[in-house]
Chain A
Amino acid sequence: MDENDPTDAEVQCDCAPTVQLTGAQAVIAQLEAEGVEVIFGYPGAQAIKLYDALHDSKKIRHILTRHEQGAVHVADGYARSSGRVGVVLVTSGPGATNTVTGIATAYMDSIPLVVITGQVPTTAIGTDAFQESDITTITLPITKHSYLIKDIAELILSLHEAFYIASSGRPGPVLIDIPSNVAAEMIHYVPITGKPSISSYRPTYKGNARQIREAAALIGKAKRPVLYVGGGVVASGATSELAQLAQLMQIPVATTLMAKGAFDPQDVLALGQPGMHGRHHVNHALAHSDLLIAVGTRFSDRVTGNARAFAPDTKVIHIDIDPAEIGKNHVAHVPIVGDARGILAGIIANLQQSQAMPRTQVWLQEIAAIAAAERSAQGGNREVADEGAIQPYELLSALNTLLIQTGRDVIVTTDVGQHQMWASQYLDIAEPRHFISSGGLGTMGFGLPAALGAQIANPGSLVICVSGDGSIQMNSQEMATCAVNSLPIKVVLLNNNSLGMVRQWQQLFCDRRYACTLLEDNPDFVKLAEAYSWKGYRITRSTEIGRALEWLISQSMPALLDVRIATEELVLPMVVPGEALGRVIDWGDV
């Protein structure tokens, strides 16, 4: 995203002679004009005109998923891994309602999508017509904006606005509902390009200069500062400015789950993930800092723990493009609304001008000492009942080493649960948009379709989905989409025969009463993979790890590795839910 937002030209209509098209044809022509190259979707009666028009497009490819939820997650993975807008096309009624979880997932993580839904004809709206659902109302709380097109005169401008709204300011999903009669009507189509003028929507990009100076002055004086950075740094493309600021003032950097990859994990200033499953030194740094420089992050409860007890004595600089995030969950002493990249550049320029010197040496030593004393890094170095069993940290550390060795561009997606947190803890990701995970909604079933989308956007990359035996079954139908489209994604399935993360809470907080969390009669995942023309393989002993992982990443086809791990593995450390960051459960406590 360009911080100066230079495309200040108002909407332009190409002066090419207009053509008579159906609404549906005009939609496809405008999608081409928006630069769309691929659409993810699923047809049905009320979308049939749109599909018919798409059939003639030479520029846009369609990927038929096996479920509309899958289609939205695929578009989401495409968007997260490429920075472009993901586009979805589905039919009315059940097709539209099936997109809800996908849209909510994208909304919570601020991902730009345009979701086009077919609708019953305008004359039938409100009559409980066959396959009618009021999808714009259903999705009100989970879309950045939505349109129901009752008049074909509004169709093309609305579609153009949808792309602009989805991708500008704080990104998010936009839904556009098109009744089938509107898709069938004729229209003089003129492509619309340029920045739409929406007088009630003018996101702020440029940070206030005085606030930037004030922030720089605080940073120049701080002895215990921490850069607490989030998904906004990725959305903004501000990673090099982040690195520059950290280096200049020797400030340690905590990256939320959504910012994984925004800062080089090998850098001595890299702290890793803060919050519920953050390591001690990271949470110590946050809680005991004298200055938090929060950049593109929203003080989520998974990070702050008990918000009232979170860093009460710390001064906070909060940089966010959404004014509503500032002061929402935590007080900001120096609020700066705008695009992270330009604001960080401004802060750096101020610091350079004032020749500020880092004063953090003692602080960095303090944090390093805590890090060195930690046990969690090696899965707790604990004793295990079954010597040769595969431990999650061991598997993921081996995968990490292998991925670095391959020298290939590697994108990792995850599902939701323990495996997600292990992936976050043990995999080193050094580039933004290379770790893709459902953070805000925590949607099981996200990982596989998201990997599909990432592979489509990055055909040359090695795309790996780390999943669990619960999550994989929530969208496993998309294995077919992978196979049909020859997308060679790799699934590492951490199979603990349980809904591990919930089981962990039951183990720690419900006296080991495993109510409804044991998945005893799982299918044979290797056979499931093979049924979809994937390759499949299973390992149960730690001695098999090396060879199996090599096998996995060398497959030219989609492949799944079923890794059997003990049911009672834990993700540690863990901040007790709802408590302050200092209330931690670790290996010594269980």
Chain B
Amino acid sequence: MQHTISILVDNKPGVLTRVTGLVARRGFNIESLAVDTTEDPRLSRVTLVMEADEVSIEQINKQLHKLINVHKIIDLTGADAIERELALFKVVAAPDKRNEIVEVASLFRANIVDVSQNALVVEATGTHDKLQALEDLLRPYGIKEIVRTGKIALSRGAKE
């Protein structure tokens, strides 16, 4: 099953290599990855999505814990968590199709962030599934390019 793991690490050079190197070395494929600093500038948060069974994910969590630069690991899989990805779609938009595309985008609360002669860039945030649905609807118009960030996630409520 797919797991979303949030890892708090030292904000130091080379730490990301330690984390991703370890995951790869233990035979896992990282499906998505997002990294940024946190409210505490000494720490970064790495959000990893990977496919693994329960036993393997427990083992990989324990191994990650052994990295001296890892402070905390939260498995957000199945937990009450807010998950978001951001996507930019460059869609072919002949003048007579523009309005339709804008409508589709607005259904998803997506924004048009660039308009040119024959193309629009649609920016959307949401869960993986929502972005997938938007992509499916945009596809018939002709998608020239897609960029998607890795997933970020945060637990709900006051707890860390």
Contacts and interface: CB of A to CB of B under 8 A. Distances in A.
Interface of A: 136-137, 140-141, 144-145, 148, 150, 165, 198-201, 322-324, 327-328
A137 B22 CA distance: 12
A543 to B, nearest CB: 53
A148 B62 contact: no
Contact of B62 (A140, A200, A201, A323): A323
Contact of B65 (A144, A198, A324, A327): A324
B142 interface: no
Top 10 A-B residue pairs of the complex, sorted by shortest distance between their CB atoms: A324-B62, A200-B71, A145-B68, A201-B68, A324-B63, A323-B62, A140-B21, A141-B25, A328-B59, A200-B70
Contacts of A137: 14, 17
Contacts of B18: 140
A35 to B, nearest CB: 22
A228 B32 CA distance: 41
Contacts of B66: 144, 322, 324
Contacts of B135: none
Contacts of A199: 71
B133 interface: no
A200 B21 contact: no
Nearest to A325: B62
A136 B14 contact: yes
A323 B65 contact: yes
Nearest to A324: B62
B10 to A, nearest CB: 7
A483 to B, nearest CB: 40
Nearest to A331: B55
B155 interface: no
A137 B70 CA distance: 17
B69 interface: yes
A327 B13 CA distance: 32
Contacts of A150: 13
Contacts, number: 37
Interface of B: 10, 13-14, 17-18, 21-22, 25, 55, 58-59, 62-63, 65-71
25 contacts: A136-B14, A137-B14, A140-B17, A140-B21, A141-B22, A141-B25, A144-B68, A145-B68, A165-B68, A198-B68, A199-B71, A200-B10, A200-B68, A200-B69, A200-B70, A201-B68, A322-B66, A323-B62, A323-B65, A324-B63, A324-B65, A324-B66, A327-B55, A327-B58, A327-B59
Contacts of A324: 59, 62-63, 65-66
A434 B110 CA distance: 70
B6 to A, nearest CB: 15
B152 to A, nearest CB: 22
Contacts of B68: 144-145, 165, 198, 200-201
A586 B96 CA distance: 83
A302 B88 CA distance: 52
B21 A141 contact: yes
A570 B71 CA distance: 50
B50 to A, nearest CB: 17
A150 B58 CA distance: 35
Contacts of A141: 21-22, 25
Contacts of A144: 66, 68
Contacts of A198: 68
Nearest to B25: A141
B63 to A, nearest CB: 5
B146 to A, nearest CB: 32
A324 B22 CA distance: 13
A141 B26 CA distance: 10
Given A199-B71, A200-B69, A327-B58, 17 more contacts: A137-B17, A140-B18, A141-B21, A148-B13, A150-B13, A165-B68, A198-B68, A200-B10, A200-B70, A200-B71, A201-B68, A322-B66, A323-B65, A324-B59, A324-B65, A327-B55, A328-B59
The listed residue with most A CB atoms (<10 A of its CB), out of B14, B58, B66, B70, is B66
Contacts of B25: 141
A136 B65 CA distance: 19
A145 to B, nearest CB: 4
Contacts of A140: 17-18, 21
The listed residue with most B CB atoms (<10 A of its CB), out of A140, A141, A199, A200, is A200
Nearest to A199: B71
A512 to B, nearest CB: 36
Nearest to B61: A324
A140 B20 CA distance: 11
Contacts of A201: 68
Nearest to A165: B68
Contacts of B58: 327
Contacts of B22: 141
A145 B62 CA distance: 16
B106 to A, nearest CB: 45
Contacts of B71: 199-200
A165 B66 CA distance: 11
A323 B71 CA distance: 16
